Structure 1
Amino acid sequence: MDRIRRNLVQAIGAGTTLALAGCGGGSSSSTPVVNNPAPNVPADPEPPGGPDALPSVAFLHGVASGDPLADRVILWTRVTPDQSGVVVPVEVKVASDPAMQQMVSSYTTTTNADADYCVKIDADGLAAGRWYYYQFQVGETQSPVGRTRTFPAAADFIDRARFAVVSCSNFPYGFFSVYRAVANQGDLDFVLHLGDYVYEYGAGEYGDFPEREPQPSHEMVSLSDYRLRHAQYKTDEDLQAVHQQFPMIAVWDDHESTDNSYRDGASNHQPLTEGDWETRKGVARQAYFEWLPIRPREPGNHDVIYRQFRFGDLIDLTMLDTRLEGRDAQLTVPLDPARNDEDRHLISSEQMDFLLEALSQSDAHWRFIGQQVMFAQLNILEIPSLDERSAQLRGNLSAINMDQWDGYAADRLTILNHIDDHDIDNVVILTGDIHTSWANEIYRNPGSLLGDLFDKPLAAEFVTPAVTSPGFPEGAAEVAGVLIPVVNPHIRYVEAKSRGFILVDVTRDRAQGEFYYAQSIDSYDLRGQIDTRKTKVVAVKSGDSRIVEDGPVSRPRTLRTALFHPPVSSPVGGVKSRKEVLS
């Protein structure tokens, strides 16, 4: 998608507003690869000292939690044994205090090379709406203490929620300053990651920040490649800090497999040199489930990540997979009218039914949708139409980014018709992928100031900036921010270059998105520092999805969600001093 971004920059320079691109890099690897479903590992040997002796291990990749429900949460770590092939018994303890003295429950499990020594426990039997602390242990070796929380029960009256939204963290583009800024927020309920958690490119292909060269140095294609890349990311101290502080709800986008991926292939996959696509897609999914605190729909099922969460009676959150599950191949010709074909799909019929039922059956005050690619139309002009069906789609006729919902207009219209037909209010879509910041009002046809823009929007969309991946260069970004809303009046805010995150503060009166931007991703000393001059606040009021701009930032909770900020047990410099332990 970087090619499309370059096209837009050139077009803006020529005075034309085109479309923005999603996450992408500039090249494809031609590294020959043998697609192994799993690395060759020796049979599990007896540890030194006999069969009852425990192997010596280290916890080098931090701890994490995710997919919180009212009575359970996934707990994750990775152990690094001092020898290969051994089976490692692991104990997990859960407590109500950071000193791990007030024990709530404990669990035992084992891990081995088949799971890349990752450990995942679905810690159940917990109380709703509570903060907990957890720690892994092998023999006398203990992991850092992490904290997590369960969600309030569906029937609980909840008057407020606060969470961060992030996406697009490319390791060799700079420090994860944005993750540090998120970890510094002491009163979040959870973190939402909307994809591109890792990137597949080889060294120098997409980012060349000193001392942050990707490992392996070639494009990841095999299972061992994907595992090693995930391991490298998990040694970053700022990413560790986020995981250690808050539960995460995550979905993949394309770069967890490869650029511009879809159900049956990808633009950055060459079968002659990189093997079978189904094999590559399968190992990418496997590594993702191993290394992320995500709950599979059923044991061993790495294909399905669309799912739903309930935060008391305040929020229903539906997470989609707009990338690998049902997506048809992207159109390659800009302005191709085939984007409106009924037979073109971004998600499968099963996932569509799941989403529509979740929207219509929800009795929560707000309905959030977490997904990967921009939902709102992004047009270059309005093309008149002669019939009602074309009128509903006509704004899309002049779009150019075929990777987002504009390339699959019939699916989008199905969702919007459902929202309208069922009088569903308070729908907010949360989006990643595009490396830039947007706040959009959602209409069937936003192409005319005399059309739907005088009706109530059907939904609102907040698009989060990237953690490190690049937006538009200086100059072009400013021009885009001015020109795009002129042609697209439903787009209320565009910031096209700065890295950051969205803090979403939800009450029963409004859902507010606060765009915060990092001062620098280049300076280690400025990690976590926010450039307050750039902060942007947008909000939608309950019952009305029109975007209101420039209100006051929300106040942090008087009492933080937990009076504990666990230290990250990493040396200063993080990854730079520990490259040798990544495997």
Structure 2
Amino acid sequence: MTSGSLDRRTVLRSTGLAAAASVAASSGFLAPHAGAVPGSAPAFVRGGRPRLTHGVQSGDVRPGGAVVWGRADRPSRLVVEVSRDPRFRRRVRTVRGPVVRPGTDLTGHVALTDLPTGAELHYRVRAVDLDDARRASEPVVGRLRTAPGRGDDVRFLWSGDIAGQGWGVNPEYGGFRIADAMTRRDPDFFLCSGDYVYADGPVQEQVELPDGSIWRNEVTEAKSKVAETLAEFRGQYAYNLLADNWREFLARTPQVVQWDDHEVTNNWYPGEILDDERYRVKDVDTLARRGHRAFHEWTPLSDLSPDPDGRVYRKIAYGPLLDVFVLDMRTFKNPNTANLEPAERQGVLGARQTRWLLRELERSTATWKVIAADLPIGLLVPDGEAWEGIANGDDGAPLGREQGIATVLSGLKRLGIRNHVWLTADVHYTAAHHYSPDRAAFTDFDPFWEFVSGPLNAGAFGPSELDGTFGPRAAFVAAPPAPNTSPAEGSQFFGEVEIDAGTKALTVHLRDVEGASLFSRTLRPKRR
């Protein structure tokens, strides 16, 4: 069969084809997130046909499988049709998904199984009335590429930090200025390295820029204050989807999502009690439970994580060339201190996640192992008089959280695991760091690269200083001219990874707001 690409009109509008008169039996679907607890839900529309409210998304594509996400305006059943044909005229497969209800904010996840290898697939989602299957929403269309085979190249993007520091959805840019450049790159998938929303970052309607011009934000009730209630956390995700070009990008690009701090509140850690007058709810654990639930409801997250408590670390096997190891460096995190403790068992990964990471890395047969970290390794990230990140500024032997990273790095060397690359965001500028034991206080590891990119649509900052414990050297840095530089002024960045199926070489590009490559580095695989 032939396949084709989707243009803006196809993605953002329904196809106009008739609603399904019947629904085939499901080949499997995800139930609402198991960790969800009952709670109040916003009012929903009654009467007429159901409607999909916030576009469609897909995520966690791996051999044979993927997840499709949608949200309806009332209790209804999600139904997904999948075909190689963008017009859905031939060989259309129908997957009957879950009933969406107020308990999950009317969001739902549909698991696609038995997908072909290395194929471009088109999908369309409908919300079907629970009382009359002949009444269904207009379909909303998306596209995904399945996990590649041995002869297929791989290209994906990564970035983070979306709608932060008061820079929200700006209609003058179609939503998020950088989204158009990301769409033009036509990647196989997008890795969000955290700060998917800014639950602690209200926006106002207008912000004056240094040149006297005005930045104009879309404003919603939920985005007008810090998120505390479950409804307000949900509203953060709904807000970002007001950006037309961001919905377009997500409809045609599968995601791999992870979270960091701003999905809850700045620099948070378990057990923290806030000293912030903006919050009536001071207990961070309460805020984190609500933020965690909204994150699971509003993103195309699969149930791949082995964690019994619903944390988001997981392995995305993406064909013979690539495995992505998605870390959760937030919900295991110890308190922010001077980070100089001589014995630290928790750190940012925790013992369970560390064992899982080394075990899965050892089992991996993919050529390249990408470790998706929501915090950089060697950059100094302050939190008042304490440290928010891994590094502590002493340049000596590992102390505090550095000890957990030392365990991972020495484990990689001991197990003979080669060709691992670390990708991250968090610091709101872009950089390429090479780590080597030849320059380090701690030497029991093999040299490796860490690439940093972001923000996607937030205030730009930096650069940060490097801690010498693991011997980092900045091969490239691009940072803004002043703190909190707006997206209108540039200094917004995303990264791109390309893996050549023939040579198996991995090339990283660090790209600017228009998509231009500022820096590139090609890495050749080493034998294990």
Which TM class, normalised by the smaller chain length?
0.7 to 0.9
Aligned to 1:182: 182
Q: Structure 1 residues 268, 293: closer, same or farther in 2, change over 3 A?
A: farther
Please report how far the alpha carbon of residue 37 of structure 1 lies from its aligned counterpart in structure 2 after TM superposition. Answer: 6.2
Q: Structure 1 residues 436, 218: closer, same or farther in 2, change over 3 A?
A: same
Please report how far the alpha carbon of residue 289 of structure 1 lies from its aligned counterpart in structure 2 after TM superposition. Answer: 0.8
Give the alignment's Cα RMSD to 1 decimal: 3.5
Q: Structure 1 residues 311, 203: closer, same or farther in 2, change over 3 A?
A: closer
Aligned to 1:511: 506
| Residues 303-452 of structure 1: pairs in structure 2 closer than 5 A | 303-324=310-331, 326-331=332-337, 333=338, 337-338=340-341, 340-376=342-378, 398=394, 408-444=401-437, 446-447=439-440
Residue by residue over 1:541-565, the C-alpha shift from the partner in whole angstroms, topping out at 9 and shown as x without a partner, is 22299xxxxxxxxxxxxxxxxxxxx
Secondary structure in 2 matching 1:465: coil
Aligned to 1:255: 262
In 1, Cα distance between equivalents of 2:431 and 2:373:
14
Q: Structure 1 residues 377, 276: closer, same or farther in 2, change over 3 A?
A: closer
Counterpart selection for 1:119 from 108, 114, 118: 108
Report if aligned partners of 1:167, 1:193 keep a CA contact under 8 Å in 2: yes
In 2, Cα distance between equivalents of 1:485 and 1:299:
32
Please report how far the alpha carbon of residue 268 of structure 1 lies from its aligned counterpart in structure 2 after TM superposition. Answer: 6.9
Residue by residue over 1:96-127, the C-alpha shift from the partner in whole angstroms, topping out at 9 and shown as x without a partner, is 11112220233243212111111210111222
Q: Structure 1 residues 426, 407: closer, same or farther in 2, change over 3 A?
A: same
Please report how far the alpha carbon of residue 344 of structure 1 lies from its aligned counterpart in structure 2 after TM superposition. Answer: 4.5
Residue by residue over 1:507-529, the C-alpha shift from the partner in whole angstroms, topping out at 9 and shown as x without a partner, is 344221111111xxxxxxxxxx3
Letter in 2 for 1:323: R
| Residues 450-461 of structure 1: pairs in structure 2 closer than 5 A | 457-461=446-450
In 1, Cα distance between equivalents of 2:275 and 2:420:
34
Please report how far the alpha carbon of residue 144 of structure 1 lies from its aligned counterpart in structure 2 after TM superposition. Answer: 2.2
Indicate yes or no: 2:228 matched with 1:225.
no
Aligned to 2:96: 107
Secondary structure in 1 matching 2:63: coil
Aligned to 1:39: 40
Q: Structure 1 residues 456, 257: closer, same or farther in 2, change over 3 A?
A: closer
Aligned to 2:298: 291
Aligned to 1:203: 202
Letter in 1 for 2:198: Y
Structure showing greater relative contact order (alpha-carbon pairs closer than 8 Å, 6 or more residues apart) = 1
Aligned to 1:74: 67
Please report how far the alpha carbon of residue 423 of structure 1 lies from its aligned counterpart in structure 2 after TM superposition. Answer: 2.0
Aligned to 1:235: 242
In 1, Cα distance between equivalents of 2:306 and 2:158:
28
Q: Structure 1 residues 271, 199: closer, same or farther in 2, change over 3 A?
A: closer
Counterpart selection for 1:157 from 150, 154, 158: 150
Secondary structure in 1 matching 2:122: strand
Please report how far the alpha carbon of residue 458 of structure 1 lies from its aligned counterpart in structure 2 after TM superposition. Answer: 2.8
Report if aligned partners of 2:86, 2:122 keep a CA contact under 8 Å in 1: yes
In 1, Cα distance between equivalents of 2:468 and 2:361:
32
Give the alignment's TM-score, normalised by structure 2.
0.76
Residue by residue over 1:171-194, the C-alpha shift from the partner in whole angstroms, topping out at 9 and shown as x without a partner, is 6415412222111223x2111111
Aligned to 1:173: 167
Secondary structure in 2 matching 1:62: strand
Q: Structure 1 residues 126, 204: closer, same or farther in 2, change over 3 A?
A: closer
Aligned to 1:470: 459
Indicate yes or no: 2:477 matched with 1:494.
yes
Please report how far the alpha carbon of residue 320 of structure 1 lies from its aligned counterpart in structure 2 after TM superposition. Answer: 0.5
Residue by residue over 1:397-432, the C-alpha shift from the partner in whole angstroms, topping out at 9 and shown as x without a partner, is 5269xxxx9851100110111111122111101111
Letter in 2 for 1:513: V
Please report how far the alpha carbon of residue 302 of structure 1 lies from its aligned counterpart in structure 2 after TM superposition. Answer: 6.6
In 2, Cα distance between equivalents of 1:78 and 1:379:
37
Secondary structure in 1 matching 2:62: coil
Report if aligned partners of 1:158, 1:314 keep a CA contact under 8 Å in 2: no
Please report how far the alpha carbon of residue 278 of structure 1 lies from its aligned counterpart in structure 2 after TM superposition. Answer: 2.7
Secondary structure in 2 matching 1:135: strand
In 1, Cα distance between equivalents of 2:273 and 2:145:
37
Stretches of structure 2 lacking an aligned partner (at least 5 in a row): 1-36, 129-134, 171-175, 208-214, 383-390, 481-490
Report if aligned partners of 2:273, 2:283 keep a CA contact under 8 Å in 1: no
Aligned to 2:488: none
Q: Structure 1 residues 299, 224: closer, same or farther in 2, change over 3 A?
A: farther
Indicate yes or no: 2:152 matched with 1:146.
no
Please report how far the alpha carbon of residue 301 of structure 1 lies from its aligned counterpart in structure 2 after TM superposition. Answer: 6.8
Please report how far the alpha carbon of residue 275 of structure 1 lies from its aligned counterpart in structure 2 after TM superposition. Answer: 4.8
Please report how far the alpha carbon of residue 143 of structure 1 lies from its aligned counterpart in structure 2 after TM superposition. Answer: 3.1
Please report how far the alpha carbon of residue 242 of structure 1 lies from its aligned counterpart in structure 2 after TM superposition. Answer: 1.4
Stretches of structure 1 lacking an aligned partner (at least 5 in a row): 1-35, 49-54, 82-86, 381-394, 519-528, 546-583
Report if aligned partners of 2:228, 2:279 keep a CA contact under 8 Å in 1: no
Please report how far the alpha carbon of residue 41 of structure 1 lies from its aligned counterpart in structure 2 after TM superposition. Answer: 6.6
| Residues 16-27 of structure 1: pairs in structure 2 closer than 5 A | none
Secondary structure in 1 matching 2:140: coil
Q: Percent identity?
A: 22
Letter in 2 for 1:57: P
Counterpart selection for 1:94 from 72, 79, 82: 82
In 1, Cα distance between equivalents of 2:76 and 2:308:
23
More helix by share: 1
| Residues 53-64 of structure 1: pairs in structure 2 closer than 5 A | 55-64=48-57
In 1, Cα distance between equivalents of 2:54 and 2:432:
35
Count of residues in correspondence between the two structures: 447
| Residues 265-280 of structure 1: pairs in structure 2 closer than 5 A | 265=272, 273-280=280-287
Letter in 2 for 1:94: V
Report if aligned partners of 1:68, 1:151 keep a CA contact under 8 Å in 2: yes
In 1, Cα distance between equivalents of 2:351 and 2:466:
33
Letter in 2 for 1:145: V
Q: Structure 1 residues 300, 221: closer, same or farther in 2, change over 3 A?
A: farther
Secondary structure in 2 matching 1:284: helix
Counterpart selection for 1:130 from 95, 98, 119: 119
Letter in 1 for 2:178: V
Report if aligned partners of 1:443, 1:458 keep a CA contact under 8 Å in 2: yes
Residue by residue over 1:57-88, the C-alpha shift from the partner in whole angstroms, topping out at 9 and shown as x without a partner, is 3323111000112111100111124xxxxx22
Please report how far the alpha carbon of residue 358 of structure 1 lies from its aligned counterpart in structure 2 after TM superposition. Answer: 1.4
Q: Structure 1 residues 484, 296: closer, same or farther in 2, change over 3 A?
A: closer
